Amino acid sequence: MGKYRDDVEQLLKLIGGKENIQAVSHCMTRMRFVLVDPKKADEKAIENIPSVKGTFTQAGQYQVIIGNDVAEFYNEFTAYAGIEGVSKDAVKAAAKTGQNPLQRIMGALGEIFAPLIPALICGGLILGFRNVIGEINFFADGTKSLADISQFWAGMYQFLWLIGEAVFHMLPVGIVWSITKKMGTTQILGIILGLTLVSPQLLNGFSVASTPAADIPVWDFGFAQVQMIGYQGQVISAMLAGFVLVFLEKFFKKHCPEVVSMIVVPFCSLVPAVVIAHTIVGPIGWKIGDALANVVYNGLFSSFGWLFAGVFGLLYAPLVMTGLHHMTNAIDSQLVNTYEGTILWPMIALSNIAQGSSVLAMSVLQKKNERAQQVNVPACISCYLGVTEPALFGVNLKYGFPLVCGMIGSCIAAMVSVGFGVEAFSIGVGGLPGILSIKTPYYLPFLAAMAIAIVVPFILTLIVGSRKLTAAERGKTGNAAADKSAPAEQAEGSGARSAQAEEASAGEEAELTGEIKSVLSGRVIPIEEVDDNVFSQKIMGDGVAIEPEDTTVKAPADATVTVVMKESGHACGLTLANGLELLIHVGIDTVDMNGDGFKLFVDEGQKVHTGDPLIQFDPEKIKAAGHPLTTMLIVTGEGDAKNVSMHSGIEAEAAETTVITYE
């Protein structure tokens, strides 16, 4: 009988049986299932299996977190179930077959805009800062701004527009690049096509409305004239142009002989794409984008704007769970470039806050439920910072009523926000920091809306949760005698510890502190800041993360290699002599690269010493695949170690700087 036989039997039964498994694979820590009917999986019961550390659904995959022993568990599971595992790519492909066309479109849209969001956030914050120093008259009895009275700030005001213009006016370049990256075609061709849309030879797209038709320059081909109009800030036009380029390149790659493809494919793809972009899809996209922005803008500013806002605020959280919320990125960007601001983004930030407030209430209700708190606390923090998925999937959807309470609070806050006409410069930081992207005249009404988004869901969740949650869910034992005896026991323990401390001070030798070094050189950050729910919520264990400055992962201590991912080469596990177990994981979701860009130097059972090379990786390949380089060092088991402590917020040198200590 295998080590995990009982757990394997339970998992197969609770997941809906063999017939409910369309495909299964695993990575360093998780089993990845594509299920025929996800509703058949009993999530609560699965999470109670001893080997299971948690579950979640992402990109059509039902993922069961096992830990370092996932490979052994996976082998036992597939053998017992009588099914054959497949590659990670096959699992991803199978997951997509279960999505309807709208879900696939929204998923693709999300993947296109995801790489652009950091730039859009940065641009929004810069515009907000420029507004504070150059547009608000704080001085001379309200007649002059900081830029008016200071040459330095006047120069800074002008200089910062260099970045703002690059983000918003040149946005089509980023969009077309991201489309080619997502679709697997030549990215430099996408960049060039994007540059032709915003070339300085063209009339700036923002100047078209104020330029008489007769003054718009044209290309004159004799038989036809084409207006020389730029598409600065245009989202839909850039997306259509990008897809035209992708189609043409894939077509010519398929039909062109390999021997001349290097010459024929780029020329026959790029030139027609540029022509079509400026003559057909560009003008069409402009009309569609304007129409879409006008519908949203006029709807929100109409006499029924409050109703539109209420529906949006109510339904935004469910939209996030379906992936349909990615469409708002395109609408927001179009609003910014058409109306120099967006009334939509503030409502999104308020929805983040409302769902976070529901989780905060759940944390209060479940303060004695240690297991629940391990999810509640980090989920609440990430939600208040604008990342809602951990809260939605890990807490609110699980219990149901916190999700609804958050939706109600978001609905009311959105109506208040729109009622006062609150606008943001651009997509910004979500959650509580969302105020940084709000136009300064609207700070007070947005603060009022934020207060509603915090208070209403919190109170509603407390009221409903106090009635709906069972004693077990709240972590209460119901044993009054035990509860009453706790203070006495604690006092006893306190006395014992005091006595021990006195003995130690009288000459007892203190235990030596063990040290675990950084696996890479770079900035060490708290594990809570990692953009992956499994790591940030400490489901696998506590640890630190490193933003690497070098490319060779080194052993952080003398240890034995207990786990390696030979196929992907992106992770390994170590065990120290005292039984303390470590997981080293390079990048996020890098298992999808199937080993491309990774070189593994060690095997299972091998002894290593501090500083020995473990893994080498190619950062450019990881970035090109769309994955963060953040590398995790996780304590998955403490063994005989005690008082394990993490040290972050420092610059580390590989195999030299201590990042974890223990006794």
pLDDT digits (tens, 9 = 90+) for 376-425: 887 788 778 776 766 776 688 778 899 999 999 999 999 999 999 898 88
User: Where is 563: in which H helix or E strand?
Assistant: strand 559-564
Rounded mean pLDDT of the chain? 82
As given in the structure block, the two tokens for residue 84 are 């054959």
- In sequence order, which ranges of 114-200 are alpha helices (DSSP H)? 117-134, 146-149, 151-168, 171-183, 187-197
> Quick one: pLDDT at residue 503?
41
Confidence check: pLDDT of 50 > 60: yes
Q: What is the pLDDT of residues 557-594, one digit of tens each?
A: 999 999 888 888 899 999 999 999 999 999 988 887 88
CB 634 within 8 A of CB 542: yes
Residue predicted with more confidence, 92 or 450: 450
Confidence check: pLDDT of 297 > 70: yes
Q: What percent of the chain has pLDDT over 90?
A: 36
* Burial label, 209 (beta-carbon count in 10 A; 0-12, 13-18, 19+): exposed
Classify domain 514-662 at the CATH superfamily level.
Glucose Permease (Domain IIA) (2.70.70.10)
Give the residues across from 583 on adjacent strands.
573, 634
Chain mean position to CA 58:
12
Confidence check: pLDDT of 497 > 50: no
Window from 147-156, 412-421, 494-503, 650-659 with minimum mean pLDDT: 494-503
> Quick one: pLDDT at residue 115?
77
Confidence check: pLDDT of 512 > 80: no
As given in the structure block, the two tokens for residue 200 are 């300085």
Give the residues across from 424 on adjacent strands.
342, 438
Window from 83-92, 154-163, 172-181, 463-472 with minimum mean pLDDT: 83-92
pLDDT band at 294; cut points 50, 70, 90: confident
Nearest to 91 by CA among 58, 48, 61, 118: 61
> Quick one: pLDDT at residue 521?
94
Q: What percent of the chain has pLDDT over 70?
A: 85
Window from 46-60, 151-165, 335-349, 507-521 with minimum mean pLDDT: 507-521
Does the domain at 5-98 match CATH 3.40.50.150? Answer given as no
As given in the structure block, the two tokens for residue 299 are 């709807």
CA distance 650 to 353: 30
Confidence check: pLDDT of 556 > 50: yes
CB 351 within 8 A of CB 316: yes
Q: What letters, b where the CB count within 10 A reaches 16 and e where it falls short, cover 454-472?
A: bebbbebbbebbeeebeee
User: Where is 88: in which H helix or E strand?
Assistant: helix 88-97
Confidence check: pLDDT of 104 > 70: no
CB 526 within 8 A of CB 646: yes
pLDDT band at 501; cut points 50, 70, 90: very low
Average pLDDT over residues 203-232: 88
Q: For residue 257, how many other CB atoms are within 10 A of its CB?
A: 7
**Quick one: CA torsion of 650, 655, 659, 660, rounded to 10 degrees?**
180
Catalytic residues: 27
Nearest to 544 by CA among 561, 523, 562: 523
CA distance 411 to 308: 10
> Quick one: pLDDT at residue 85?
57
CB 25 within 8 A of CB 91: yes
Average pLDDT over residues 224-241: 89
Average pLDDT over residues 212-237: 89
**Predicted model pTM:** 0.53
**Quick one: CA torsion of 502, 504, 507, 513, rounded to 10 degrees?**
-160
Going from the C-alpha of 648 to that of each of 27, 381, 512, 651, the distances in angstroms are 27, 18, 21, 9
Q: What are phi and psi of 355, to 5 degrees?
A: -65, -35
Domain ranges of the chain: 5-98, 169-208+215-299, 302-472, 514-662
> Quick one: pLDDT at residue 656?
93
Confidence check: pLDDT of 241 > 90: yes
Window from 92-101, 219-228, 480-489 with minimum mean pLDDT: 480-489
Residue predicted with more confidence, 599 or 72: 599
The three-state secondary structure class of 22 is strand
Average pLDDT over residues 183-198: 93
Confidence check: pLDDT of 88 > 80: no
Q: What is the pLDDT of residues 357-371, one digit of tens each?
A: 999 999 999 888 876
Confidence check: pLDDT of 500 > 70: no
Confidence check: pLDDT of 554 > 60: yes
Q: What letters, b where the CB count within 10 A reaches 16 and e where it falls short, cover 378-392?
A: bbbbbbbbbbbbbbb
Q: What is the pLDDT of residues 464-491, one digit of tens each?
A: 999 888 777 777 644 433 343 434 334 3
Window from 148-152, 380-384, 618-622 with minimum mean pLDDT: 380-384
